[in-house]
A and B are shown apart, each in its own frame.
Chain A
């Protein structure tokens, strides 16, 4: 065993080194991607408990409206990028046990916690103590998953392949993506806009 403090520091430094060596953008670029990603979420307020838990009660629809619009637009845009050779698909495999059981646990936790793993850090940075406690819970969740990975793997099941809509409609990829994207955009617009506002926010009446 190495010394605990230098071990932790070494591993944090190795995190930056890994990103720099991996070729998926420099450390600075990845950091900026994070800042932009976080800012879009923060300015639309979709990280807030009122928006996520509010959606679970169907009292706030900003989260699904924004989510479906982003996916609809990006699915068409990404297809064009791939067509010109400027990007490629990175598909996650279909593992039914993991997707269904994991998805059910994830959805229930999201409703109660009112956060997801990407939005939590924003709320912590805004001083939300309950989210900080939830983040500690998350770290323990990560620990348990890592230690009992072999057992969790049995729940996840075997991969049924990395299937996509474009792969399924091989002869009409462009049309299928276009319809997929447009349907999602239409859903996003069709969902009626209702909002819950955090009454603790300064000047919330505006």
Chain B
């Protein structure tokens, strides 16, 4: 079984999937993958959609993405067990050990903080890597180009400041 495909094949397949999802025989909408998070938060914390305007606004998009992400999760689990054999419980990624530290506490703290602000940032901007980058720039939207530019700069600047420059094992 194929366990890995090269980046260019991934790019071609992703372009075909985007076109299918946009088309009328597909879903006639863009791919998005961050609205589902506040949508699920609303369900988990039992927030009344009548009381919170945001939940009302994202009802349809949140539902669509919710179902899509269940597909992502289910497919990834099946793949990880039977195909890529990448399922295993780990806490600290190998690259974090290489350029940051070996601390479980540090990794979990930063994961929580990172996850929290990832969603705040995505919802402020109205999209994420999928909604803005992939789907938005495919439509040549200026909003997505602004988002894409800011994200690239912030990502690289943070990477430079946050991680150690040299492999500490060497």
Q: Which residues of A contact B (CB under 8 A)?
A: 4, 7-8, 11-12, 14-16, 18-19, 22-25, 27, 29-46, 48-50, 53-58, 62, 64-75, 77-78, 81, 86-122, 124-131, 133-147, 149-150, 152, 155-156, 162-166, 168, 176-177, 180, 184, 188, 193, 196, 198-202
Q: Which residues of B contact A198 (CB under 8 A)?
A: 93-95
A94 to B135 Cα, complex, angstroms: 15
Q: Are A111 and B158 touching (Cβ within 8 A)?
A: yes
Contacts of A115 in B (CB 8 A): 114-115, 118
Q: How far is the CB of A56 from chain B (nearest CB, A)?
A: 3
With contacts A43-B84, A49-B96, A128-B90 taken as known, whether A113 is within 8 angstroms of B12 at the C-beta atoms is no
Select the residue from B7, B20, B86, B127 with max chain A CB neighbours within 10 A: B7
Give the shortest distance, in Å, between B56 (CB) and chain A (any CB). 10
Which B residues are within 8 Å of any A CB, using their own CB?
2-31, 33-34, 36-47, 52-55, 59-60, 62-64, 66-77, 79-80, 84-96, 99, 107-108, 110-144, 146-160, 162-163
CB of A71 to closest CB in B, whole Å: 5
Can you list 24 pairs linking A and B with CB atoms under 8 Å apart? Answer: A14-B63, A37-B68, A39-B75, A56-B158, A57-B160, A58-B159, A67-B11, A74-B134, A77-B19, A78-B19, A78-B22, A100-B146, A106-B154, A111-B155, A111-B156, A118-B128, A125-B73, A125-B76, A131-B111, A141-B119, A145-B38, A145-B124, A196-B95, A200-B90
Smallest CB–CB gap between A10 and chain B, Å? 10
B96 touches A116 (CB 8 A): no
User: Chain B's nearest CB lies how many Å from the CB of A125?
Assistant: 4
For the complex, give the distance between the alpha carbons of A23 and B45 in Å: 28
Evaluate contact between B154 and A104: CB separation under 8 angstroms. Answer: yes
Q: Is the CB of A44 within 8 A of B10?
A: yes
Listed residue (A57, A91, A199) with the most chain B CB atoms within 10 angstroms of its CB: A57
The answer to whether A81 and B143 touch (CB under 8 A), given A19-B64, A152-B124, A188-B11, is no
Task: Compute how far the CA of A110 lies from the CA of B21 in the bound complex, rounded to whole angstroms.
Answer: 25
8 shortest A-B CB distances, which residue pairs?
Answer: A34-B71, A56-B159, A107-B154, A113-B114, A102-B124, A102-B125, A69-B11, A134-B115
Number of A-B residue pairs having CB atoms within 8 Å of each other in the complex: 512
Not counting A133-B112, A142-B119, A199-B94, a sample of 13 additional A-B residue pairs whose C-beta atoms are within 8 angstroms of each other reads A18-B63, A35-B74, A38-B79, A53-B95, A56-B155, A69-B12, A104-B154, A105-B120, A106-B125, A111-B158, A118-B33, A137-B115, A146-B42
- Chain A contacts of B34 at CB under 8 A? 116-118
Also in contact, A31 and B2, with CB within 8 A (given A8-B43, A117-B33, A146-B47): no
Q: A66-B7, A122-B76, A142-B123 are in contact. Are A108 and B115 (CB under 8 A)?
A: no
Kindly list chain A residues whose C-beta atoms are within 8 Å of the C-beta of B95: 49-50, 53-54, 114, 196, 198
Bound-complex Cα distance A23 to B60 (A): 11
CB contacts (< 8 Å) of B4 on chain A: these are 43-45
CB distance from B29 to the nearest CB of A (A): 5
Q: How far is the CA of A173 from the CA of B149 in the complex (A)?
A: 23
- B140 pairs with A75, CB closer than 8 A: yes
Which of A58, A110, A142, A150 is within 8 Å of B37, CB to CB?
Answer: A142
Contacts of A95 in B (CB 8 A): 126, 143
On whether the beta carbons of B63 and A22 are closer than 8 Å, the reply is yes
Docked complex Cα distance between A111 and B129 (Å): 13
